[in-house]
Structure 1
Amino acid sequence: MPGSPSAAGASAPVRYRFPAEWEPCGAVWLAWPHNRDTWPGHFEPVPSAFAQFVRAILQSTPVRILATGAVAEDCRLRLRESGLAESDILQIVDIPTNDCWVRDYGPTYVIAQDGRKVAVHWHFNAWGGKCEPFDADAAAGAKMAKWAGLPRLDGALTLEGGALETDGAGRLMVNPGCLLDPARNPGLSKERISQQLNHFLGIHEIVWVDGGAPAGDDTDGHIDQIARFLDPRNVVCAFAGSDEDPSFAGLEANYRKLRLWSRQTEPGVTVHRLPTPPPRELDGAAVPQSYCNFLRLGAERMLVPTFRSPECDERALALLRELCSGVEVVGVDCFDIAWGLGTLHCASCHEPAGPAA
């Protein structure tokens, strides 16, 4: 049945658990933007927008920023201009990068059976070889784990963090286009990939969400632009408000598939449509805009991208506040960042609280 879950080695012993983002957060990692080709002709406002993102995170959570050399100096300057300075809770870490999308090349943090934290370092090849160079990004995850004093597991798959969404209890939402991809994992079957996700993340149920992604997406459909868990019983799914939107058919197919799955899984799940803003283009290219790309900072806070579309922005914030009772839902302007084809979740890598193993 389309959208139905698949087993992921449920009979195997669970050695590690992939925690949900609403669990306690120890720190958020960012990578300072410096690659002008990511925002061709529109880079100038981006560093200041990142500084405001840093400020928003720091209201509750420590921040670690990957930057080296001249990039680190620019980072310090922009932070000072925003009234921020290095401290115990705002650290610049001397690790080079090619680009800022640390969600995708940073580690996936898991909790071992003894309750301690471990970093899974997947293979990274820039979304199936779409961008060159990517050598620094491919090496950054291992360096992040070493800097934090965490043991590292070398993941057996080529994948990106933005392709994975969990409820923290063994269920996972993914888009098969990001994993069953000959440019990422040639020759690997769905069953083999499921076994690896079980081994490294403790996943026992996968729902494959493959309808489509927002227009402009260049990741082959990262789930963090499509659908997210709010808690074990509620999922939001990106939805185009008009059938004239080029994303309408694909996003509606995702919603239908998730609805089918929601009636089969345990505990049961309610799927809520989270409308996207009107389509936007810049220099003739579609800009992917999805409120699903929020960053959850533990149980108390959620940072949500906004796109200077006041009516749509407020509607999305209001829905998330209604569904996440007791959570501080904060809008963060991502109008400029989004031209790089990602926003808050794509540009961050959250590290759960807990001791190193």
Structure 2
Amino acid sequence: MKPPPPEWAHHKAVWIGFPSHPELWEDDLEPARAEVVAFARAVHADGKGEKILLVAADDEAALAARTMAKDFADIVVEPFGDIWLRDTAPIVMADGSVRMFLFNGWGGKYDLPGDDSIGERLAIGRRKRVVSCDWVLEGGAIDGDGAGTVVTTEQCLLNPNRNPTLSRNEIEVRLRDDLGFERIVWLGDGLHNDHTDGHVDNLARFVGPGRVAIPVGADNDPNWQVYQRAAAAARAAGLEVVPVPSPGRVMRGEEIVPASYMNFYIGNAAVVVPIYGAADDDAAVLAFQAIFPDRHVVGLHADHILTGGGSFHCISQQIPG
């Protein structure tokens, strides 16, 4: 079995979650919608990118999505709890089939109606063959290089709130059997205050076969040791570590939020990097432009999306092909 194609492989389309529930987003609803549409527009890249599928949970949200996106996106109406489709949408394999895993609200923290079934409904809507896997796994918890290697964190995959009866070895076996990965590289913990219990897509991302980008912490960065340990683990596993900037300490009120440039999305024509008004925003965009010279790298604000706990990668799931 071949593993899922890497994110830089060609995409037919991409699902993007559209903020739909005012009670979840409160004052951030409209600004978050604007940030999502700006992200989708950048990925579309005036028709040079993949097809955009904005997923709205109800008719009101669908009307808002159509009004804001106009003619560059298709609107898919399917009930869901929240927009984090990286974790709830299916993982599309190299043969076009999809893998669906159990979803338990990120360890039982956020149990919202529809999140446990949105993935299968989206797959059926695309006429995909669904293969169900009977263990808990979120898409943002893993990142593969398309050549058989996957990175993840012990903090998430070994967390007893996910699969308490499975050992580390058993989880490795399932990653091999269900997703075709040949080598699993464990990177320790994820970011401080990450509601997902340390998803790797905020910490380390493959940017080529055997090449993984990991931030270097700024002076005030609450995650500088996390990044150092992850980089050491990656190098020990024989991976090439590509250093990139970190936004450092980003606050919302009195709380440190898990802001990360690593939550970028690699589209057919563009790489979209979340920025936060931090000192290294421009440096991060330049760093990713050097990594992806064949794509246009765009930095877009994701402050309001982040109030929900994630960013551009978290709200998207590509459909390769």
| TM-score using structure 1 length | 0.84
Partners of 2:289 and 2:14 lie apart in 1 by 22
Residue 33 (structure 1) aligned with residue 19 (structure 2): yes
Name the counterpart of 2:62: 72
Instruction: Tell me by how many angstroms 1:76 deviates.
Output: 2.0
Q: Is the 8 A contact 1:16 1:200 kept in 2?
A: no
1:330-341 paired onto structure 2 within 5 Å: 330-341=298-309
Matched, 1:325 2:293: yes
Structure 1 position 163 matched with structure 2 position 141: yes
- Pick the aligned partner of 1:61 from 29, 33, 50: 50
List runs of 5+ in structure 2 lacking aligned partners.
none
Counterpart in the other structure of 1:50 = 36
- Deviation, 1:55, is 1.0
> Residues 316-338 of structure 1: CA distance to partner in whole angstroms, max 9, x if unpaired?
11111222232321212212222
CA distance in 1 between partners of 2:42 and 2:184 (Å): 33
- Counterpart contact for 1:207–1:261, Cα < 8 Å: yes
- Is residue 239–residue 275 contact of structure 1 (8 Å, CA) maintained in 2? yes
Contact 2:54/2:76, CA 8 A, preserved across alignment: yes
The worse-fitting range, judged by mean Cα deviation, of 317-326 and 46-55 is 317-326
Question: Could you report, residue by residue, the CA deviation over 1:26-65 in whole angstroms, capped at 9, with x for unpaired residues?
Answer: 1110121023455454333111111111211211111112
Aligned residues: 317
Structure 2 match to 1:10: none
Find the aligned partners of 1:245 and 1:317 in 2 and give their Cα distance. 18
Q: What amino acid is aligned across from residue 288 of structure 1 in structure 2?
A: P
Which residue does the alignment assign to 1:265?
Answer: none
Task: Give the deviation of 1:127 after TM superposition.
Answer: 0.5
Residue 248 of structure 1: aligned partner: 224
Kept in 2, the 8 Å contact 1:216–1:341? The answer is no
Worse-matched range after superposition: 188-197 or 141-150? 188-197
Alignment correspondent of 2:235: 259
Give yes or no for contact 1:49–1:337 (8 Å, CA) kept in 2: yes
* Correspondences of 1:181-220 after superposition (within 5 Å): 181-210=159-188, 212-220=189-197
Q: Which runs of 5+ in 1 are unaligned?
A: 1-14, 263-268
Partner of residue 228, structure 1 = 205
Cα deviation, 1:51-87, whole Å, max 9, x if unaligned, reads 11121121111111222222212222333xxxx23xx
Question: Which shows bigger deviation, 201-210 or 247-256?
Answer: 247-256
Which secondary structure does the structure 2 equivalent of 1:349 belong to? strand
Equivalent residue, structure 1, for 2:102: 123
Question: Which residue identity lines up with residue 98 of structure 1 in the other structure?
Answer: G
Give 3-state SS (helix, strand or coil) of 1:293's partner: coil
Residue 31 of structure 1 contacts residue 97 of structure 1 at CA under 8 Å; is this kept in 2? no
Query: For the pair shown, which has the larger CA radius of gyration, 1 or 2?
Result: 1
**What letter is aligned with 2:254?**
G
Note if contact 1:25-1:297 (Cα within 8 Å) is conserved in structure 2.
yes
Task: Please tell me the root mean square deviation across aligned C-alpha atoms, in Å.
Answer: 1.7
Q: Which amino acid aligns with 2:159?
A: D
- Which letter does structure 1 place at the counterpart of 2:29? F
Give the alignment's TM-score, normalised by structure 2: 0.93
CA contact (8 A) 1:101 1:347 kept: yes
CA contact (8 A) 2:3 2:146 kept: yes
Q: Are 2:238 and 1:272 aligned?
A: no
Q: Residue 94 in 1 paired to residue 80 in 2?
A: no
2:42–2:270 Cα contact (<8 Å) kept: no
Distance 2:231 2:76 in 1: 40
Q: In the alignment, what sits opposite 1:17?
A: 3
Say whether the 8 Å CA contact 1:27–1:62 is kept in structure 2: yes
- Structure 1 contact 159–178 (Cα < 8 Å) conserved: no
Q: Deviations over 1:219-265 (max 9, x none)?
A: 111010000111014211123111x4322222221122112112xxx
Q: Which residue of 2 aligns with 1:344?
A: 312
2: distance between equivalents of 1:32 and 1:319? 29
The answer as to 2:252 corresponding to 1:282 is yes
Q: Is the 8 A contact 1:156 1:196 kept in 2?
A: no
Secondary structure at the counterpart of residue 115 of structure 2 = helix
Q: Is the 8 A contact 2:102 2:133 kept in 1?
A: yes
Distance 1:261 1:40, change over 3 A: farther
Q: Distance in 1 between matches of 2:168 and 2:110?
A: 26
Q: State the match for 1:11 in structure 2.
A: none
Identity of aligned residues (%): 30
Instruction: Tell me the SS of whatever aligns to 2:159.
Output: coil
2: CA distance, partners of 1:233 / 1:320? 17
